Amino acid sequence: MQILLNGQSIMTEATDLSALLREQHIDIAVVACAVNGQFVAKSQYAEMRLQHGLRIEALSPMQGG
């Protein structure tokens, strides 16, 4: 299926958010995610089913000021 991940269109075979992050080599421990503009708790990543056309933002904290 095709989704938008951090503004980039990608094709994925992942069926849930957790699998997508692993597939894309994104460290689940240090990322916060929003799906279609709604925050998703880390405890819900495995239950968050992916669908064609979703907009996902995966953000890591940055140091500095």
Q: List domains and CATH numbers for the chain.
A: 2-59 (3.10.20.30)
Distance (Å) of CA 48 to CA 14, 41, 45, 53: 11, 10, 5, 14
**Going by C-beta distance under 8 Å and a sequence separation of 6 or more, which residues neighbour residue 27?**
21, 60
Return the amino acid letter for 23.
E
Strand pairing partners for 40? Answer: 33
CB distance 21 to 3 below 8 Å: no
pTM for this model (two decimals) = 0.89
pLDDT tens, residue by residue, 7-57 = 999 999 999 999 999 999 999 999 999 999 999 999 999 999 999 999 999
